[in-house]
């Protein structure tokens, strides 16, 4: 489901079953990410699918990329793999004005 930044962030704050998933490249991720995000690069192709398959399908996934296109694709793929709840951040990091941190 594609949702606005405001809805994505406010819903995330109240969701005790949430996982934040960053599907950008490692280089993009290393330049700044939404706090708490797990990085799985969608450009890894089959590698992306293998890593996503390891995730808990009962969680709610808040997915983002740089502009919202890769994360929309990731949400589609995750839906096909049996994930019930994925939220795509419209506009991605390019329009994000919430908190950002560098990965450790």
Residue ranges making up the domain that contains 54: 2-95
Spatial distance between the Cα atoms of 37 and 33, rounded to a whole number of angstroms:
7
Is there a catalytic annotation at residue 65? yes
- What integer best gives the mean pLDDT of the chain? 97
Task: Kindly name the residue from 12, 21, 65, 89 that is annotated as catalytic.
Answer: 65
The CATH number of whichever domain residue 32 belongs to comes to: 3.40.250.10
Over 90: is that where the pLDDT of 77 sits?
A: yes
Question: 14 in a domain, yes or no?
Answer: yes
Provide the pLDDT for residue 60: 98
Question: 101 in a domain, yes or no?
Answer: no
Provide the pLDDT for residue 104: 83
Three-state secondary structure of the chain: CEECHHHHHHHHHHCCCEEEEECCCHHHHHCCECCCCEECCHHHCHHHHHHHHCCCCCCEEEEECCCCHHHHHHHHHHHHCCCCEEEEECCHHHHCCCCCECCC
Span 44-61, average pLDDT:
97
Question: 65 in a domain, yes or no?
Answer: yes
Question: 103 in a domain, yes or no?
Answer: no
Span 44-62, average pLDDT:
97
Span 72-85, average pLDDT:
97
Over 90: is that where the pLDDT of 74 sits?
A: yes
Question: 100 in a domain, yes or no?
Answer: no
Matching residue, tokens 């450009």: 43
Question: 10 in a domain, yes or no?
Answer: yes
Q: How many domains is the chain built from?
A: 1
Question: 35 in a domain, yes or no?
Answer: yes
pLDDT digits (tens, 9 = 90+) for 13-49: 999 999 999 999 999 999 999 999 999 999 999 999 9
Q: Is the pTM of this model over 0.95?
A: yes
Question: 33 in a domain, yes or no?
Answer: yes
């Amino acid at each position: 489901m594609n949702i606005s930044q405001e809805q994505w962030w406010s819903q995330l704050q109240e969701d005790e079953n949430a996982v934040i998933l960053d599907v950008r490249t490692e280089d993009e991720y290393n330049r700044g990410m939404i706090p708490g995000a797990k990085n799985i690069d969608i450009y890894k192709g089959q590698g992306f699918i293998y890593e996503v398959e390891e995730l808990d399908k009962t969680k709610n996934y808040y997915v983002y990329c740089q502009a919202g296109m890769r994360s929309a694709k990731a949400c589609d793929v995750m839906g096909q793999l049996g994930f019930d709840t994925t939220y795509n951040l419209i506009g991605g990091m390019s329009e994000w004005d919430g908190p950002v941190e560098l990965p450790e």
